[in-house]
Each structure stands twice: as C-alpha cells, then as structure tokens.
Structure 1
Amino acid sequence: MNPVELLLSSLGACQSIGTRTYAKKFEINIQNFWVELEGDIDLDGFLGKSDVRPSFSDIRKFHIETDASEEKVQKYKEFIEAHCPVGDTIANQFNLVSSKVVVENPDI
C-alpha cells in the first residue's frame, strides 16, 4: 500500500466508524454498508513534471443499503462527514509544521 492509498484507507475507516456509531441516533436501519473509496490524482505534480497539485482532486466513498428515506440518509451522511476527523483534516487546510530537523550521524 502506498501513502495515498493509506490515506484513503484511513478515511474509509473513519467514515465506517462514524456510520456505525451514529446510525441509531439518526434512526437509520443499516441493512448493508461498504466502503469503496477511489480518488483522482495526477502524479505529474509528485514527479515534478508540472505544477499540478500532488494530491487527490476528488474522492468518492461509501454505499449504504437502508429502508430510510433519501432525505434522511442525506442528513445522516452530512453529519458523518462533518464529524469525521480524517475527512475534516483532508477537506480543510491546516498547518503542517516541521519545526526542527534532527540530523544524526553515528560517526561523530
């Protein structure tokens, strides 16, 4: 698994936990649920071939089978997305700080 695939796995796990955790609160009867994450990424940014961002542009996610109305499921989905720490970290800019680099040389 490469790092961006691991990122998708983290998002899927977080969304799955949220989906199961809040189903009762939203009165959603989950009959079947699965995560099938995929994202669009242009590796030219990573490879230095262009100025395109070296990140996903879109990520698609989970499937739910339920007898709940589409409107109810939409509100439930919005709540899950708003409360998923991994999703929030991906969706919103944050400070990535590398305050110190430690160079270790065993020969010194």
Structure 2
Amino acid sequence: MNPVELLLSSLGACQSIVARTYAKKFEIDLQNFWVELEGDIDLDGFLGKSDVRPGFSDIRYTFHLETDAPEEKIQAYKEFIESHCPVGDTIANQVNLVPAKVVIENPVK
C-alpha cells in the first residue's frame, strides 16, 4: 500500500473500532460491520505538474452493517461513529502540522 491508501485504511479501521466499541451503548446487535472507502486525488499535484493540491480532494465512505436494529437507531449510531472517530476528525479539521528539525547523520567511515 502507498501512504494515501494507508490513510484511507486508517480511516476505515478507526470507524470500525468506534462502531464495534459503541454498538452496545446504542443497543445495536452488530453482527458485522465494514467500511468501503475511496478518494479522489490528482497526482499532478504530487508530481509538480500543476498547482492542484497533492492530497485527496474528496474522500467517500459507505458503512455496511449487518443488524436488525431499526433505521432511527442506525442513523444516531452512524452520526456518533462519524463524530467520535479520531482519524476522521483529524482529516476533517485543520491540524497544526509542526515541522520537525532536520538531523543530519554522518555515516561511519
């Protein structure tokens, strides 16, 4: 996997963890849960061929649930998952990305 594919995987894994952790709180008998993710990225930004941003412009996901819970509970549960996933929050909201210093290591001769 490349790093942007790992980002999508991290989002799906985080959403899955939140879903499994809180299913009982929402009284949802969760038999199975998985997430499909896809994103739009223009590699011209990464390759320096244009001024488009080098990262994703859009990320889409679909939750798949195997449960007999009613639609009203599922909607509240979905909103909770979205609002409590740390990876989703990090992607959706601006984060202070603090540059690290550069450490130059001299090879042993």
Q: TM-score, normalised by structure 2?
A: 0.87
Comparing 20-29 and 65-74, the one that deviates more: 65-74
Tell me the distance in 1 between the aligned counterparts of 2:49 and 2:100: 29
1:42-72 CA-to-partner distances (Å, cap 9, x unmatched) read 1111111111111112222221132223232
1:105 matched to 2:106? The reply is yes
1:11-66 CA-to-partner distances (Å, cap 9, x unmatched) read 11111110000001011122332222111111111111111111112222221132
Q: Superposed, which structure 2 residues align to 1:13-92 within 5 Å?
A: 13-61=13-61, 62-92=63-93
Tell me the distance in 1 between the aligned counterparts of 2:57 and 2:65: 23
- Residue 92 (structure 1) shift: 0.6
The runs of 5 or more residues in structure 1 that have no matched partner are none
Following superposition, which runs of at least 4 residues in structure 1 exceed 6 angstroms of deviation?
A: none
Tell me the distance in 2 between the aligned counterparts of 1:57 and 1:70: 30
Q: 2:10: which partner in 1?
A: 10
Instruction: Name the Cα RMSD after superposition.
Output: 1.7
SS in structure 2 opposite 1:26? coil
Q: 1:94: which partner in 2?
A: 95
Tell me the distance in 2 between the aligned counterparts of 1:34 and 1:99: 36
SS in structure 2 opposite 1:45? helix
Higher helix share: 2
Q: TM-score, normalised by structure 1?
A: 0.88
SS in structure 2 opposite 1:50? coil
Comparing 73-82 and 30-39, the one that deviates more: 30-39
Equivalent pairs, count: 108
Tell me the distance in 2 between the aligned counterparts of 1:71 and 1:20: 18
Residue identity (%): 84
Specify the code of the residue in structure 1 equivalent to 2:70. S
